[in-house]
Amino acid sequence: MQTSFLRPTYIEIDQQAIYHNVFETAKRLHDDAELFAVVKADAYGHGLVPVARVCREAGATGFCVATIDEAMALRSAQITEPILVLGISSPQTVAIAAAQHISLTFGDLDWLKEATRYLEQTANLPALNLHVALDTGMGRIGFTDQNQLATAVTQLRQSKEFNFEGIFTHFSTADERETTYFEQQLAKFNAMMSVVGERPHYVHVANSATSLWHQVCHANMIRFGIGIYGLNPSGNQLQLPYELEPALSLYSELVFVKHVQAGTAISYGATYHATQDEWIGTIPIGYADGWLRRLSGMPVLINGQRCPIVGRVCMDQIMVRLPEQLAVGTKVTLIGRDGVDEITAQEVAEYSQTIHYEITCGLQDRIPRHYLPKREELD
């Protein structure tokens, strides 16, 4: 999608907030533990390469992505640190990954067999770094059988095509108050690890939620994701043990203001009718930008006041009810602070009955990202 630089809608990314969140987390780790920054999905909508660079400065020693393409984008940006692709990649891509020193994930013997076949057809490549995924209760990817895991580990250690770099699992309820299922997953992980023998370089079980609220022993790397961006992994269920600073704000401005009489219908389907004579403002953002259609009624901030979206969200525009006549060009805050009030990504998520991950990831690249410099860059 074409980025619309000449439209007054933009996202502001506070790089100092990202630095703070990573630095504060990294300094709390044990001396032998590392922090890999999870920057998949364009860094959760915050910008892959700019975020990765700030995370590296703040103490991240590696990165996690979802696809090889994301990893290659980091390599093209001269990010030389370890990069792990968390999802399953096609065995046909293993030569590309090996050549780029990109670590891949696998979770079954068939994948390993196919990958071996492709690598044996190439020459002069470094060994491919592999991380073994264990499914301890997430139900997504990974080994569930100890015997098959033991076979895979043996094959890795006997192969010249592979380097057994890591092993990991993913907790599905680490952001919830009830810990029974978390503890069951941890027990399953420890049982699976009993057949591994000598541990690889990286053993990792902690996503953001696990790193914030659970002390998990015998792991030496965390995958820090949503916390980078200053958002609470649990929404509002659990209190953060230390402050995280939200990094993303979303702004626009009024591009059209009109006075309508009582009874005037606004937007598609005529679902809203003015209850009295009203001032209506139009803002250039819509569901094509990721501002969800179900956000009708959600307020925005204008001059510190909450102004609700009226009528249905359009593809490219929304209309809001204004408290009074306001000038075209007046700033609008959709996510962020205006005066003493603030609209958070969490509030937007709750209104639209989803999670803040989906809100930030869904903001399309049609909206330009503006990056505020870190404080030391202001000196």
Positions marked catalytic: 40, 268
* 315 known ligand binder: yes
Could you tell me which of 85, 27, 12 has the C-alpha nearest to residue 58? 27
In the block, residue with structure tokens 């490219």: 316
Residues in the chain: 379
* 221 known ligand binder: no
The answer to whether the CB of 38 falls within 8 A of the CB of 228 is yes
Start-to-end C-alpha separation, the chain: 36
What type of residue sits at position 257? V
H or E segment to which residue 52 belongs: helix 48-58
Q: Which residues pair with 204 in a beta bridge?
A: 168, 221
Q: Which residues pair with 166 in a beta bridge?
A: 131, 202
Q: What is the 8-class DSSP label of residue 208?
A: H
- Sign for the pseudo-dihedral over CA of 183, 189, 192, 194: negative
Could you tell me which of 291, 344, 352 has the C-alpha nearest to residue 320? 291
Q: Is 216 exposed, middle or buried (0-12, 13-18, 19+ CB in 10 A)?
A: middle
Q: What is the 8-class DSSP label of residue 227?
A: G
In whole angstroms, what is the distance from residue 379 CA to residue 373 CA? 10
In whole angstroms, what is the distance from residue 3 CA to residue 215 CA? 42
- Positions at the binding site for substrate: 140, 315
